[in-house]
Amino acid sequence: MSDSKQILYIDDTKCRNSYSCVRVCPVNAIEVRSQKPYPAVLPGRCIGCGLCFVSCSPHAIGFRDSREEVKRLLASGRKTAALVEPSIASEFDDITDYRKFVAMIRALGFDYVHEDSFGVDLIAAKYGDLFSESGGKYYITANCPSVVKLIEKFHPGLVPNLAPLVSPMIATAMVVKELYGPDIAAVQIGPCIDAKDESLIYNSGKLVDGVLTFIELRQLFEEYKIQERVVKMSEFDPPHGYWGALYPLPAGIIQAAGIKRDMVSSNVITAAGKEDVLEAINDFDKYIDTIHHHFNLFFCHGCLLGPGMEHHRERFRRRALVRRYTEKRVGKLDKALWQKNMDKWSKLDYSRSFTPNDQRIPEPPAEAINEVLKIIGKENPDEEVNCGACGYRSCREFASTVAKGLAVPEMCHTYNLRNKQEYIETLRQTNRKLAETKRALKESEELARHEKEIAQNTSDMMNNMLEKLPTGVVIVDNNLKILHSNRSFINTIGEDAKAISDVIPGLAGADIKTMIPFNIYNMFIFVLKEDEPVVSKDVKFEEKMLNISIFPIKKNKMCGAIIRDVFSPEIQGEEVTSRVSEVIEKNLEMVQKIGFLLGEGASETEQMLNSIIESYRKKGNVEKDRK
């Protein structure tokens, strides 16, 4: 998302990862990392050219919005002056007369409306002087803030060759401040996004108090419902410009300076547009001793196609609109008054300085570049197709950028195509395996459903049988919560257990601690902790003598108990003992299955029950001998 200080930013909520912004960025100022879901603008490297903004079809690239700032200025009570670039002719061709356009700006609340063309004339004259007095030193014009940033950040060795002159925007603001006093609020209106940053350089941002792009201006017109048909015509405030109205054309400032433009006698080369400007700076750096020309550079194809405009096409039609507009303005100009104004305002100091801000990243070692080339399938030089689909001039340049950590291999078209083919084959195999797994799963589900039905029937049968046992049976977990108990257990324990069972059938989930005395409770703890059985222990409980056997079912997790009241008439005598043994033996399998279902302890349960039966028999023999 946006940083209030950042000129351009990416809105993650709109980004579709097309990487179009990365491909058009001339200085690798948009970072793509595999661990980050979306690209991000690196403000330290950004030159504010706006190519990313223009290229982003999902409109995920945004720039610093100045509308609220300007609205506060207009409402502050301060006098305000709009400084308008002459490229209005190419942007607002839907407005029939420029004087209507001026009136619409005044309707926003501006007290004065000036055209930058007079500032262009002033700076053009200064360039004429500078070039004629250069004495063999060659300069690069400093009118385009993106070109200035490009040199300061990525060609710092050329900073001394930047013409030490302010831009026409700044020159116009200086004149306006002189005309109306330092308290006047000057707001630039034009096609350049990076002018927002340029304005901050001078007088802590107090020379140009705000910058609106043409896009923002249209939005303000719409917000305030200002239309051409509801305003009267109004002229720009003086001083008016001359050939400075040609400034939107790349060579316009050269013509305004009266510098010869023919190929033989001219000492200035004009280049515009990303590719030409990058090549021009490279050639200036390496071959200026051969070229022997000053360079006039604009990063856009002139200010008639700036990024802060709504449309960025039809260049030659726009050139015609600017030429027609200039002819109209020049035809009405009072040349003598213009010259008088030029003489007056040329005395201001329009000089400026520049500061190197080296943002170059050292070239990574060859091993790192070769490793990236290997990853993208370009290990052999013959495989370096240099198709340019990634936005870089060659596969090796792209690999270098990846090695610097500013791009990812997925931006390579052929790498993606190969991965896509491999992915399709993997997907095909996965689908085949998925179909087989689906069939197996269906069969498994059918089997599981069948086994569940069998288990449920078995469980129901065992529960019914368990309920018929005259001996109390209870199974508890490691928290001494009852998992299951039969009616004999409930009757043996007493009235409290019966009352609880009316609410909780089978006492499932009830805490056995609340129903039995401490000594019996301790037996359960012992069995769970030690994984050892307690066999045939007689314990006095209320008016009963209970014979208790507790056995582990699942180690430290579950145990079961068989409890009988030895004072009960049906327990007396050998016959009763034998009968109990017989019942236990007959139901042994059932109890084992219960234990298995609840805790996979069937084998241990069988051993415990066998030992319990044996103890019952011995106890019966002892009682018989006593009689």
User: Domain-by-domain residue ranges, the chain?
Assistant: 1-63, 65-345, 362-456, 469-626
Summarised one tens digit per residue, pLDDT across range 214-273 is: 999 999 999 999 999 999 999 999 999 999 999 999 999 999 998 877 666 789 999 999
Same CATH fold assignment for domains 1-63 and 469-626: no
Q: What is the C-alpha separation between 387 and 377, in angstroms, rounded?
A: 14
pLDDT (0 to 100) of residue 425: 67
Amino acid at site 456: Q
pLDDT (0 to 100) of residue 192: 96
pLDDT (0 to 100) of residue 10: 95
Right CATH for 469-626 from 3.30.930.10, 3.40.50.11540, 3.40.50.2300, 3.30.450.20: 3.30.450.20
Encoded tokens for 550: 């507790």
pLDDT (0 to 100) of residue 585: 56
Q: What is the C-alpha separation between 178 and 350, in angstroms, rounded?
A: 13
CB contact at 8 A, 242 and 106: no
Summarised one tens digit per residue, pLDDT across range 75-89 is: 999 999 999 999 999
Amino acid at site 142: A
Chain mean position to CA 563: 67
Q: Closest Cα partner for 533 from 463, 610, 469?
A: 610
Q: What are phi and psi of 114, to 5 degrees?
A: -115, 150
pLDDT (0 to 100) of residue 274: 94
pLDDT (0 to 100) of residue 8: 96
Q: What are phi and psi of 538, to 5 degrees?
A: -90, 125
pLDDT (0 to 100) of residue 422: 65
How far CA 102 is from CA of 83, 98, 169, 478, in Å, comes to 11, 6, 18, 88
Q: What is the C-alpha separation between 133 and 127, in angstroms, rounded?
A: 10
| Burial of 245 (C-beta count, 10 Å sphere; 0-12/13-18/19+) | buried
Q: What is the C-alpha separation between 365 and 216, in angstroms, rounded?
A: 45
Mean pLDDT of the chain: 86
Query: Which residue ranges of the chain lie beneath pLDDT 70?
Result: 1-4, 262-264, 420-425, 459, 569-627
CB contact at 8 A, 571 and 488: no
pTM of the full predicted structure? 0.66
b or e along 144-180 (b: 16 or more beta carbons within 10 Å of the residue's beta carbon)?
bbbbbbbbbbbbbebbebbbebbbbbbbbbbbbbeeb
Give the number of other Cβ atoms within 10 Å of residue 129's Cβ. Answer: 12
Encoded tokens for 26: 């001339």
| Cα distance between the two ends of the chain | 96
pLDDT (0 to 100) of residue 601: 45
CB contact at 8 A, 491 and 498: yes
How far CA 527 is from CA of 380, 559, 565, 593, in Å, comes to 73, 7, 21, 20
* Residue entry with tokens 């200039």: 326
What is the DSSP pairing of strand 544-554 with strand 472-477? unpaired
pLDDT (0 to 100) of residue 396: 83
CA-CA-CA-CA torsion sign (174, 202, 102, 224): negative
Q: Closest Cα partner for 550 from 591, 627, 605, 489?
A: 605
Encoded tokens for 36: 């980050």
CATH 3.90.226.10 fits 1-63, yes or no: no
Q: What is the C-alpha separation between 44 and 24, in angstroms, rounded?
A: 17
Q: What is the C-alpha separation between 505 and 484, in angstroms, rounded?
A: 9
Q: What is the C-alpha separation between 466 and 453, in angstroms, rounded?
A: 20
412 three-class SS? coil
